[in-house]
A = this chain, B = another copy of it.
Amino acid sequence: MEFKKNMFYITADAVVFTILSKELKILLIKRSHEPFKSKFALPGGMVNIDEDLEEAAKRELEEETGVKNIFLKKLHAFGEVNRDPRGRMVTIPFYALVDGEKINLNSTSGAEFAQWFSVYELPELAFDHKKIVDDALKHLRYEVKNTNIAVQLMPEDFTLSELQNAYEIIFNEKQDKRNFRKKIKELGILKAIPGTKMDGAHRPAKLYSFKEKGYKML
């Protein structure tokens, strides 16, 4: 692709969060071209002229991860003059939350390859993508506290310990078991599900599910 010097280009990048192996991870792609060749960067790409911003982010993500119906939230635009040496790029980043078990990275199209990284052990990132990740993490934490987006990170049924684990990983701090359960029950966003889950030699845990799957302020 060739870039003109007197034109704006709009890209939509995505910070895709998931929880895998008890860590909060984001999806990164190793760049196969200059600039920042062989550095890691956020998945994303050019917005087409006849495409909404969110549509573009969804399309790019689907191409990268093979996952449809991804939940996306807009972040602040980044548009410094020299953030990309090729031309005047303004990026509208989004952040997404997915259940890592459902993603199949092998379906990646093109020569680049995608990989999960712990948010606490990121490689050096291309462009100003580090700033975007920081912004996304801030927003993620805010929304996990104040909305029911955790829905997006959890499987259909889960135990209270699994949910607590997810919170601890996102906020990077231990929570008190009794207080956590009390708070969650008061919120009234979960419903008990008939079965139980066994996971080793100990008492089986009751299963729960979110009452509502739609985005909702608490």
Q: Which residues on A are within 8 Å of B, measured CB to CB?
A: 5-10, 47, 49-53, 74-77, 79-81, 88, 90, 92
- Please measure, in the bound complex, the distance between the C-alpha atom of A148 and the C-alpha atom of B108, giving whole angstroms: 46
Considering the complex, give the chain B residue whose CB is closest to the CB of A76.
Answer: B74
* Contact pick for A90, options B53, B75, B76, CB 8 Å: B53
Once A8-B7, A10-B90 are accepted as A-B contacts, the answer to whether A52 and B76 lie under 8 Å apart by CB is no
Q: State the copy count for this chain.
A: 2
Contact A52 B80, beta carbon cutoff 8 Å = yes
Q: Beyond A8-B47, A10-B79, A10-B90: 16 further Cβ-contacts under 8 Å?
A: A6-B49, A7-B7, A7-B49, A8-B9, A8-B49, A10-B10, A51-B81, A52-B79, A52-B81, A53-B77, A53-B80, A53-B90, A74-B77, A75-B76, A76-B77, A77-B92
Considering the complex, give the chain B residue whose CB is closest to the CB of A92.
Answer: B77
Considering the complex, give the chain B residue whose CB is closest to the CB of A80.
Answer: B52
- Please measure, in the bound complex, the distance between the C-alpha atom of A98 and the C-alpha atom of B213, giving whole angstroms: 41
Q: What is the CB-to-nearest-CB distance from A165 to chain B, in angstroms, rounded to a whole number? A: 29
Considering the complex, give the chain B residue whose CB is closest to the CB of A74.
Answer: B76
Once A8-B9, A10-B8, A49-B6 are accepted as A-B contacts, the answer to whether A77 and B80 lie under 8 Å apart by CB is no
Considering the complex, give the chain B residue whose CB is closest to the CB of A50.
Answer: B81
- Please measure, in the bound complex, the distance between the C-alpha atom of A74 and the C-alpha atom of B88, giving whole angstroms: 19
- Cβ of A74: which chain B residues have Cβ within 8 Å of it? 76-77
- Cβ of A8: which chain B residues have Cβ within 8 Å of it? 7-10, 47, 49
- Cβ of A7: which chain B residues have Cβ within 8 Å of it? 7-8, 49
- Please measure, in the bound complex, the distance between the C-alpha atom of A86 and the C-alpha atom of B90, giving whole angstroms: 20
Contact B50 A79, beta carbon cutoff 8 Å = no
A-B contact pairs, 5 of them (CB 8 A): A6-B49, A7-B49, A8-B8, A10-B90, A53-B79
Q: What is the CB-to-nearest-CB distance from A121 to chain B, in angstroms, rounded to a whole number? A: 26
- Please measure, in the bound complex, the distance between the C-alpha atom of A72 and the C-alpha atom of B47, giving whole angstroms: 27
- Please measure, in the bound complex, the distance between the C-alpha atom of A51 and the C-alpha atom of B81, giving whole angstroms: 6
Q: What is the CB-to-nearest-CB distance from A23 to chain B, in angstroms, rounded to a whole number? A: 27
- Cβ of A51: which chain B residues have Cβ within 8 Å of it? 81
Considering the complex, give the chain B residue whose CB is closest to the CB of A91.
Answer: B77
